[in-house]
Amino acid sequence: MLDVTGSISNLQWTTEHHFLHIQARHEFMRAIAVQFELAYSDFRAIQMALQLDNQTDLLEKVTAQYNEVFQYEMAFVRGGLDEFDNQFKGKIDQYQTSQASLLATLNDILKLQPSHAPKEI
């Protein structure tokens, strides 16, 4: 598999920290939008690695999970807490579940990375 360890780590960090930022009710910062855009590039690199390795089931799973998290983050990036609340008020638990699922799947993909594969003796 193509080594996308850095992309996985970046997407994990961004997913977790954006959730925590929104959960803590912190206001929008420009850095969030930049991280959001960079995370999309990392996500696309992960998709490409999975495609090249014929990991179709894992590709479909991580894509669906990313799309779930994306909707929450996009609302926040578009209009801060006001827009997030407009679309997802009272749904922070669903967001938490979505991001936790994505993080777990990213961890599974990380285990497939050449740098994390068990070494043969």
Kindly indicate the confidence band of residue 115, based on its pLDDT and cuts at 50, 70 and 90. confident
Question: Is residue 118 in some structural domain?
Answer: no
Question: Is residue 116 in some structural domain?
Answer: no
d(CA 24, CA 34): 20
Domain that holds residue 52: 5-111
C-alpha 97: how far from its chain's center? 12
Question: Is residue 117 in some structural domain?
Answer: no
In terms of Cα–Cα distance, which of 14, 60, 6 is closest to 37? 14
Question: Is residue 103 in some structural domain?
Answer: yes
pLDDT 10s digits, 74-109: 999 999 999 999 999 999 999 999 999 999 999 999
Question: Is residue 119 in some structural domain?
Answer: no
Question: Is residue 43 in some structural domain?
Answer: yes
CATH number at residue 94: 1.20.120
Torsion-angle region of 62 (φ positive above 0: left; ψ -120 to 50: alpha; else: beta): alpha
Residue type, 10: N
Question: Is residue 36 in some structural domain?
Answer: yes
The total number of structural domains in the chain stands at 1
pLDDT 10s digits, 60-75: 999 999 999 999 999 9
What is the pTM assigned to this prediction? 0.92
